[in-house]
Amino acid sequence: MSVYKRPDSPHYHYDFQRRGVRFHGSTGETSRRAAEEFERAEKERVKAAFARGAGASARMTIDDAAGRYWLEVGQHTAKAADLDRELADLIKTIGASLAMGDITDDKLAAWVARRRGEHRFGDPRRGLVSPATVNRGFTQLLRRIFIRARKVWKIALPDEPDWSSHILREPRERVRELRVDEEIGLEEVERDDYRPLRLFAQASGLRRRELVSLTWPQVDWASGIIRVVGKGDKPHVVPITQEITGLLWPLRGHHPTHVFTFVAQRTRRCAKSDNTYVRGKRYPVSYWGWGSRFARDKVKAGLSDLKIHDLRHTSATRTLRASKNLRAVKEMLGHSDIKTTMRYAHALTDDIAEAMTARVKDEAERRAKHEADKKSRESPEPAKQTPAKRLTKKAK
């Protein structure tokens, strides 16, 4: 295809393929002659790139790479909707027509700096986006695209950025446990239709997305397990304990597919999802819907610093404190590395205190024994009578 004009642009565009890889974009030229010269030069650059082994990497645009990544990987992930949004934001930040080979450390550093200066949801009142958001939603996502391009698509990337230099330092995740008195306060303000979800979160230790997306086909009563897809699309199994049975069994029949539902308090239309809710009817609890409900309940209960994810921390901390079994908690949470589970080791402070007390007792006993032995060595033994003396006494 020769150069052409698009209705939405004053510039001519180019579009050609080499070895099955598509190259396209704006020439930045308004005259056909200049645009054709640009296209010829572009083809020569691609040809030279293939010749030196850089191949498709030099001119494959980030738009094409992101689209291919979405088709092959993204759409099949558990968080496909979030990933779709993140890919769109990434392309918007970088520019759809920028070639992967043109992504340098200098440009990446500028993009990261710009992203970390943005506000959450574009609202200054919510503060700046966190380092974790920048890392996961931008830098690490772009790195995954590059890795797939290099390993699967066999695209050479000689000038690939030094990713480790662009990963922002993240603060250590806090471990906040819901105290018993706080839980009682939360029970007093939360609605009955939302309580089973919160209690199940504390019983299972599942993440927020895994909880709200739980469906009845995932609950295998016969086998006594619940199957979920965890973080990183890894399969995870939750045993159906007596406690979990007591929570889920009464919910049967509320909805044909979803386990956790709520009763609409009034007829309304949700602006975010465009769904209409009719008063008195049950609907599946959504990710954002639970977040909104929980935010109101925690304020009423005076727990403004509590987060939904803290219910997972609560589950892990209480289970470890009761069982003293760190490996069991690791499996319950679906951690791939026990080092991650070690953040809950603070729950064993009672054991630590008991061990320290035992040490003091042992030291005291050892000291007492030492003093007793010392006194025994220092005190003189009674003189023993010789045979001659005993005979003298008998003679008298």
Per the annotation, the verdict on 45 as an active-site residue is no
Q: Give one DSSP letter per residue of 15-29, joined into a string.
A: EEEETTEEEEEE---
User: What token pair was written down for 26?
Assistant: 């704006």
pLDDT surpasses 60 at 393: no
Residue-wise pLDDT tens digits, 207-225: 999 999 999 999 999 999 9
**Integer Cα distance of 122 and 119 in angstroms:** 5
Of 32, 45, 255, 309, the catalytic one is 309
Q: What is the mean pLDDT of residues 21-25?
A: 73
Of 45, 136, 255, 335, the catalytic one is 335
Confidence (pLDDT) at 56: 47
Of 12, 194, 283, 344, the catalytic one is 344
**Integer Cα distance of 62 and 91 in angstroms:** 7
Per the annotation, the verdict on 207 as an active-site residue is yes
Q: Where is pLDDT greater, at 200 or 384?
A: 200
Per the annotation, the verdict on 287 as an active-site residue is no
In this prediction the pTM is 0.63
Of 231, 255, 282, 321, the catalytic one is 231
Q: Give one DSSP letter per residue of 211-259, joined into a string.
A: HHT-BGGGEETTTTEEEEE-GGG-EEEEE--HHHHHHHGGGTTS-SSBS
Instruction: Kindly give, in sequence order, each residue whose CB lies less than 8 Å from that of residue 72, ignoring residues fewer than 6 positions away.
Output: 148, 152
pLDDT surpasses 90 at 6: no
Instruction: List, in order of start, the domains of the chain with CATH numbers.
Output: 52-166 (1.10.150), 180-348 (1.10.443.10)
**Confidence band for 388, pLDDT divided at 50, 70 and 90:** low
**Confidence band for 383, pLDDT divided at 50, 70 and 90:** low
Residue-wise pLDDT tens digits, 119-151: 887 888 888 989 999 999 999 999 999 999 988
Residue-wise pLDDT tens digits, 239-257: 999 999 999 999 999 999 9
pLDDT surpasses 60 at 395: no
Confidence (pLDDT) at 71: 85
Residue-wise pLDDT tens digits, 300-341: 999 999 999 999 999 999 999 899 899 999 999 999 888 888
Of 59, 68, 166, 207, the catalytic one is 207
Radius of gyration of the chain (CA): 34
pLDDT surpasses 90 at 107: yes
**Confidence band for 14, pLDDT divided at 50, 70 and 90:** confident
Work out the percent of the chain whose per-residue pLDDT is above 90.
45
Confidence (pLDDT) at 19: 64
Per the annotation, the verdict on 76 as an active-site residue is no
Per the annotation, the verdict on 231 as an active-site residue is yes
Across all residues in the chain, what is the average pLDDT? 86
Q: What is the mean pLDDT of residues 200-205?
A: 96
Residue with tokens 């931008």: 138
Q: Where is pLDDT greater, at 173 or 5?
A: 5
Confidence (pLDDT) at 21: 65
Per the annotation, the verdict on 324 as an active-site residue is no
Of 293, 312, 313, 318, the catalytic one is 312
